[in-house]
Structure 1
């Protein structure tokens, strides 16, 4: 009886193919690599070509490198060394690169140098292509922000408040030494009044120290403590004030920055694993989306979303030549400045204001029955009516500026006789007659937001 043997498919590594297959035949028609290839073939890469010099040796085509980089990101391959290896080992990368073998330095240089200034235009081209295909809309967008921790040392930071405190100490020390010099000065060599230290800078500090050394030099009866202080400020202050000025130049309008990444600001992150509100260096990334596709992005050092919309919308308009028709955002953006901006650009703002959600609950209305926004306004007499029916008349207005320089016009109204009112103490906490401040423009804009 014959013993049956297992049957195997032919296996011969030395087998020669009469007609070798092309790389294209090895790629399934529905594979994602074909989508990447097709999309990038449709892009206008003219801005990317400008990053290359005319002279010098030939370079790998930027379209090739862009395809390799994008498909690498699609497949979670980010390392330049792994991408270079994939161009030799993966049929998909070999097909994209047409059997080109860029090394890791070439890929890294393309990503960090060539693509740096052209990335925005490449991104915009992809968004426009997706819009043409009907996959997204650039007319209606949703905007929100998220904080991303910077790759920076969280223990090496500079705080604006610390600089201001140290500068105040310098002012106090210099003033103290100057006043001592006034006390011991002779009638012939009398010291003038101390310099105006309202604003302190390196030139003023240097000039003050020179004058003090000149006036106190050679005097034998100087107090030892003052002499030591003068020696210390002469040695340390010029260098310190120069350092503070440099740090303030980097800070600008921010309150802090990281020494190892000066663009990063210290802010509270959403992921607070220690539950202690620890500040970490990071960025506030603003993103606008449509149908879950990102259509616009900007990066900000501001911790709050409120002050980011102006620059974010400006970038959107620079990218697409116009503002969106509608914008949806949460209450973090509901400020008078943002409402005014969107109204000016004729953008329908589906944007809550700060107290919107709380005002929808009856508990809030019962807790604050005498709030200013619940008072009746008599337009003919330009007065508000208090809960007891007393008129609160207009007593003046003033203008105040926000941290971004936006001007708000505030009107003030006040009652005339609250002393004997039975609601005194419940209606308001002031010891005098009740007064309220009203921002009519913000009130109008909030009403529009409420209706939307």
Structure 2
């Protein structure tokens, strides 16, 4: 019997259709692109329209460009060139853009410039819509932060410590030559007063160089090495001081920055594939979540979470008109300043302090028998009782100030006759009589936090935090591959992270 030929479905690229299909028919009803389209259509686009001029040629509609950008971030397409290609090739983007084909310059300019003042309002409206649908709560939030690498060269760094070291070297060289000038001078009256370089700046260096040149101008047989050093000082010191002062202005309160993105600070990243603790330029991104939706976001140049909470809460108040009713966070936020702020705002603070987890262990408690917070306090006589039963009397206050300017007051109490005490060396390590410093305000706030965290509600919030805020970062970084910003500068980075936040919320709503 002859073999039968295989049967194929009809295939004719040039077949003319009587009723050609539309893009609408090709997209499933439950597809994520429809969720993006529906939600963006419901927001007020007036903040976007104000970024355009009334004169000149026509522009692509900002609503269309916003949909393309947001859906691009939903689909892990972050490059403006890839978004340009998607508007020509991908039916979802073609449907969103109504067959418009914006080029990558238009998309990039819209993202970097047009959204600068409007994206926060867009994000807030999206959050409000989701809250109205009962998907999230603005009042009960979970806060955490992560570091994301900046689009900057990790080898173009500027360090505050290096600037300070170089300034000290300049002071030493000027003082060295001044000492030489004194040694070769006939009388001390020949020289003016030595330059005051206690605090060094450009004006003082300029004055010191002028004095050195004047002091050595008429001297003969000057040592060749000294002459070479003086020539080097004349040639380079003023120029270097000008550079250092410009760099210090950029640094502000930070310890470092990258020359290719001056807003980025060098930080240790968790995603360190070399596993050598290498510092990389990055930003500290803070988010507050509810039911794994992002409710609030802020970008910070400082690597520690402790100093970010005040600005983060201020942004929440600005966005929604009030502070949240409760906030849950890990021990990275447990400082006196943050506790005091949350108390002032009447926010229930389910925030751990540094040793909270350790204090739950009996083994740790046994090791802390001689700690200052374990000593008995006699309120009537304002004194602490040491482990041997001796009184520790009040000897004065000490005041400290944090890097953010928050002032702390410590009351100091000193023991007596520690040298003859049988517990000497076990109770404390000092060779003098033991002194303890008590921050009464912090102790009160920590006790308040301890009671709140160990309440039934506190235990529930502590358990929920682990699977509410932390998975959001894991989803963004690992599932959607966003581990490095594409734009440079804090303002543009805020736009990019805002798009990430909107995309995450819409993706979760669609799911």
Task: Indicate whether the TM-score tops 0.5.
Answer: yes
Structure (1/2) with the larger helix percentage? 2
1:249 Cα deviation (Å)? 0.7
Following the alignment from structure 2 to structure 1, what is the Cα–Cα distance between the partners of residues 269 and 36?
Answer: 34
Contact 2:368–2:374 (Cα < 8 Å) also in 1: no
What is aligned with 2:269? 269
Q: Which runs of 5+ in 1 are unaligned?
A: none
**In structure 2, do the counterparts of structure 1 residues 25 and 241 end up closer, same or farther at CA, with 3 Å as the change threshold?**
same
Following the alignment from structure 1 to structure 2, what is the Cα–Cα distance between the partners of residues 26 and 108?
Answer: 28
Following the alignment from structure 2 to structure 1, what is the Cα–Cα distance between the partners of residues 125 and 108?
Answer: 23
Following the alignment from structure 2 to structure 1, what is the Cα–Cα distance between the partners of residues 304 and 63?
Answer: 38
Contact 2:196–2:204 (Cα < 8 Å) also in 1: no
What is aligned with 2:307? 307
Provide, for residues 72-130 of structure 1, a one-character-per-residue CA deviation record: whole Å limited to 9, x for no partner: 22222233333233323333222212222222222222122212332222111111111
Q: How does 1:155-174 map to 2 (within 5 A)?
A: 155-174=155-174
Following the alignment from structure 2 to structure 1, what is the Cα–Cα distance between the partners of residues 249 and 2?
Answer: 92
What is aligned with 1:246? 246
What is aligned with 1:235? 235
What is aligned with 2:134? 134
Q: How does 1:59-138 map to 2 (within 5 A)?
A: 59-138=59-138
Following the alignment from structure 2 to structure 1, what is the Cα–Cα distance between the partners of residues 126 and 174?
Answer: 60
SS in 1 for 2:420: coil
Contact 2:152–2:281 (Cα < 8 Å) also in 1: yes
2:13 equivalent to 1:30 = no
Provide, for residues 343-391 of structure 1, a one-character-per-residue CA deviation record: whole Å limited to 9, x for no partner: 1111111000011111111221222210111111111111111111111
What is aligned with 1:435? 435
What is aligned with 1:336? 336
1:52 Cα deviation (Å)? 0.9
Contact 1:179–1:194 (Cα < 8 Å) also in 2: no
Q: How does 1:262-301 map to 2 (within 5 A)?
A: 262-301=262-301
2:346 equivalent to 1:375 = no
Provide, for residues 298-340 of structure 1, a one-character-per-residue CA deviation record: whole Å limited to 9, x for no partner: 1111111111111111111111111111100000110000101
1:14 Cα deviation (Å)? 5.2
Provide, for residues 46-77 of structure 1, a one-character-per-residue CA deviation record: whole Å limited to 9, x for no partner: 11111111111111110011111212222222
1:262 Cα deviation (Å)? 1.4
What is aligned with 2:224? 224
Equivalenced residue count is: 452
What is aligned with 1:145? 145
2:56 equivalent to 1:56 = yes
Following the alignment from structure 1 to structure 2, what is the Cα–Cα distance between the partners of residues 398 and 163?
Answer: 31
Following the alignment from structure 1 to structure 2, what is the Cα–Cα distance between the partners of residues 418 and 445?
Answer: 31
2:385 equivalent to 1:385 = yes
What is aligned with 1:183? 183
Provide, for residues 254-302 of structure 1, a one-character-per-residue CA deviation record: whole Å limited to 9, x for no partner: 1111122211111211123333322222111111111111111111111
1:17 Cα deviation (Å)? 4.6
SS in 2 for 1:206: helix
What is aligned with 1:201? 201
Superposition RMSD on alpha carbons, in Å? 2.1
Higher mean C-alpha deviation, range 132-141 or range 437-446 = 132-141
Larger radius of gyration: 1
Following the alignment from structure 1 to structure 2, what is the Cα–Cα distance between the partners of residues 103 and 206?
Answer: 53
Contact 1:182–1:192 (Cα < 8 Å) also in 2: no
Following the alignment from structure 1 to structure 2, what is the Cα–Cα distance between the partners of residues 78 and 402?
Answer: 39
Following the alignment from structure 2 to structure 1, what is the Cα–Cα distance between the partners of residues 385 and 117?
Answer: 59
Following the alignment from structure 2 to structure 1, what is the Cα–Cα distance between the partners of residues 275 and 85?
Answer: 42
**In structure 2, do the counterparts of structure 1 residues 18 and 222 end up closer, same or farther at CA, with 3 Å as the change threshold?**
closer
SS in 2 for 1:308: helix
Identify which of structures 1 and 2 has the higher relative contact order when contacts are C-alpha pairs closer than 8 Å and 6+ apart.
2
Q: Which runs of 5+ in 2 are unaligned?
A: 453-511
Following the alignment from structure 2 to structure 1, what is the Cα–Cα distance between the partners of residues 258 and 397?
Answer: 41
Following the alignment from structure 2 to structure 1, what is the Cα–Cα distance between the partners of residues 275 and 79?
Answer: 33
**In structure 2, do the counterparts of structure 1 residues 14 and 277 end up closer, same or farther at CA, with 3 Å as the change threshold?**
closer
**In structure 2, do the counterparts of structure 1 residues 22 and 182 end up closer, same or farther at CA, with 3 Å as the change threshold?**
same
Following the alignment from structure 1 to structure 2, what is the Cα–Cα distance between the partners of residues 3 and 224?
Answer: 103
What is aligned with 2:497? none
Higher mean C-alpha deviation, range 112-121 or range 133-142 = 112-121
TM-score, normalised by the number of residues in structure 2: 0.84
